[in-house]
Structure 1
Amino acid sequence: MAAQTRALVSGQWLADAVRNNLVGPKLRVLDASWYLPKTKRDPRSEFAQTHIPGSGFFDIDECSDRSSQFDHMLPTSSHFSEYVGDLGIGNDTHVVVYDTSGLGSFSAPRVWWMFQLFGHSSVSVLDGGMKNWVADGHPVTAEHHKPERRQFQATLNRSWVKNFEDVLENISSHKVQVVDARSAGRFRGTEPEPRDDTLPGHFPGAINMPFTTFLDDSGKHQRPEILSKLFREAGVDLQKPLWVSCGSGVTACHVVLAAHMLGHPGACVYDGSWSEWFKKAPAEHIISEGGMSV
C-alpha cells in the first residue's frame, strides 16, 4: 500500500491478496462483526463456521473497558495493544476490517476508527463486507490458525473521543456540530430503542444522518459526490469540527468514515452515545416526539 492507506478496499483487491498468499504479518483481515443482543446472532460462532480465508475475529465487546456500565466503551491503549498484538498485528501491518451484516456494513467502521484512534492509520474497510464478498463468489472457509503474536504500540489520540460532559457543555456553547447516526424514528422518539432500559429521542442541537444513508442499495459505501451531497443537505459543514453519536458508539463511526473519505481531519465520537446520555441527562435535554415508556 501507499503511504496514504485507502479507507476502502474492494472485494477484488482483497481476493487477489488472499489468492497470492499475502495475508500474514504485513496484511491482516479481521471479521469485526457485532450485533445487538435482540438480533440473537452470535458473531464469534458465525466466524467459526465461515469467514474470509486468513481472517481473525475482533470482538468489540472484549476489546473494551469491561469495568464500564455502558456497552463496549473504549479500552486503554495497553489493552488495545495487547489485544491486536494477539491477532498478529504490528505497527507495520495493513489491517482490513469487514463484518457480516446483511446491510453490507455495520460494525466494521467502529474497528476501523479504533485503529485510527490508537494511532494506526494503515487500516481499511472492505467495501460491501461479507455480503458482497459472498455474492461475488469469493472464497470462504471454516479453517482458522492463530497467528504468531506481534508487538503493537498504540498511541491514543484522546482529542477524538468525547464524553457526556463535553456534549453537555456543547449544548450551551453551540461550538461544534453533532451528528446522530441512528434511524430517524429513534432520533425523533417515534420508534423504540433496541435496549429495553432506554427510550428514544435526541439531545438538543443534534443533526440526524442515519448511517444507512452512507451505503448504497448493494451495501457498498456511497461515492464521494453522494457523500458530499448528504452532508450538504443535512447542513453539516466539513470545514468545521464535527462530533458524532449513535446508540452506543458503533454506527456513529460510519459518519467518521464518510467524513474521512471527504478529507475531514477527524470527526470525534461521543463514546457513550445515546445509551449513556439517556441515563445521565436532565429531562430538558432529552427531546422526543413519542410518548413511550420503559
Structure 2
Amino acid sequence: MVHQVLYRALVSTKWLAESIRTGKLGPGLRVLDASWYSPGTREARKEYLERHVPGASFFDIEECRDTASPYEMMLPSEAGFADYVGRLGISNHTHVVVYDGDHLGSFYAPRVWWMFRVFGHRTVSVLNGGFRNWLKEGHPVTSEPSRPEPAVFKATLDRSLLKNYEQVLENLESKRFQLVDSRSQGRFLGTEPEPDAARTGLGPYPWLCQHAFHGLPD
C-alpha cells in the first residue's frame, strides 16, 4: 500500500495532513510550495512566508532554471537541478509532494512534478486541490520556514519526456504525436496578451505551453 501511494500523481489533503500529524515529514517525505504568479499580481515567496503547509519548503521556479538561456523557464542542467533540490533536503529516496496557491487549485505544481519526472524521480505527487483546498478543509498552516538537512540527489535527464523546436516543427507534417497548448483560448488565438507582455498568439497551430513544457535547448 505504501508503494502505491508513493507513485500516485495525486495525493489528498487528508493523506498529507495525517502524514504531517504523525511525524512522517523528513528525509522520506518532503513538501514543496511551488507557487508562481505573473509579475505585478501576487508575490509567491511573500505569501509562503506568511502561511504555508507545515514543513513545506519554497520551490522557486525562477531560481531552478537555466538562467543563461534567453528563453523563459528553461530547465536547469542535471547538476543544477540536483544541487537545488538537494538543498531542499530531497534525495532519490524522498517522496515529494508539490502544491501551489493558485486560485484554480493547482497551476505551477504540475510543472514542478514534471521537472522531477524529467530528471528521473518517480516518487513525486501533486497535492489534490492545492493550497486552496488545504485551507478550505481547515488543515493547519504555519509561517515558520522549513530548514531541512541538505541531501544528495542524482539527476538523470529523461529526454523521452522532452520535445525540442525541431521535433515540434517536423510534427506539423508528420503528425506523429498530439500537441496540446494549455494556455487560455485568448492567448492561443492571439487576442489576449502574454503575462510578460511578450508577443502574443502562436495559433492556429497548437504549440507547447511556454510555462508547462519548456525543455532544454539543443
TM-score, length basis structure 2: 0.93
Residue identity opposite 2:19 in structure 1: A
Whole-angstrom distance in 2 between the partners of 1:131 and 1:24: 24
* Runs of 4+ more than 3 Å apart: 269-272
Cα distance, 1:189 vs structure 2: 2.3
Question: Matched residues, percent identical?
Answer: 53
* Residue 37 of structure 2, aligned match among 35, 44, 59: 35
More RCO (CA 8 Å, sep 6+):
2
Cα distance, 1:190 vs structure 2: 2.4
Whole-angstrom distance in 1 between the partners of 2:204 and 2:163: 15
Residue identity opposite 1:199 in structure 2: T
- RMSD of Structure 2 on Structure 1 (CA): 1.7
Deviations 1:204-239 (A, max 9, x none): 3x2xxxxxxxxxxxxxxxxxxxxxxxxxxxxxxxxx
Stretches of structure 1 that go unaligned for 5 or more consecutive residues are 207-243, 251-268, 277-294
Partner of 1:245: 208
Q: Is the 8 A contact 2:75 2:214 kept in 1?
A: no
The within-5 A match list for 1:239-278 is 245-246=208-209, 248-250=210-212, 269-271=213-215
Stretches of structure 2 that go unaligned for 5 or more consecutive residues are none
Deviations 1:155-213 (A, max 9, x none): 11012111222211211322221111111121122222222221223253x2xxxxxxx
The within-5 A match list for 1:202-241 is 202=203, 204=205, 206=206
Q: Is the 8 A contact 1:245 1:271 kept in 2?
A: no
Q: Is the 8 A contact 2:73 2:214 kept in 1?
A: no
Q: Is the 8 A contact 1:61 1:71 kept in 2?
A: no
TM-score, length basis structure 1: 0.70
Q: Is the 8 A contact 1:170 1:176 kept in 2?
A: yes
Partner of 1:219: none
Deviations 1:87-144 (A, max 9, x none): 0001110000000111100100000001111111000000000001011000000012
For residue 84 of structure 1, give the secondary structure of its aligned residue in structure 2. Answer: helix
Residue identity opposite 1:14 in structure 2: L
Q: Could you say which structure has the larger radius of gyration? A: 1
For residue 180 of structure 1, give the secondary structure of its aligned residue in structure 2. Answer: coil
Whole-angstrom distance in 1 between the partners of 2:145 and 2:195: 32
Whole-angstrom distance in 1 between the partners of 2:202 and 2:21: 47
Residue identity opposite 1:249 in structure 2: H
Q: Is the 8 A contact 1:95 1:124 kept in 2?
A: yes
Deviations 1:41-99 (A, max 9, x none): 22111111110000101111100000011112000111111100000001110000000
Whole-angstrom distance in 1 between the partners of 2:179 and 2:208: 7
Q: Is the 8 A contact 1:164 1:270 kept in 2?
A: no
Distance change in 2, residues 1:54/1:167 (3 Å): same
Partner of 2:22: 20
For residue 97 of structure 1, give the secondary structure of its aligned residue in structure 2. Answer: strand
Residue identity opposite 1:104 in structure 2: G
Deviates more, 1:9-18 or 1:29-38: 29-38
Number of corresponding residues: 215
Cα distance, 1:26 vs structure 2: 0.2
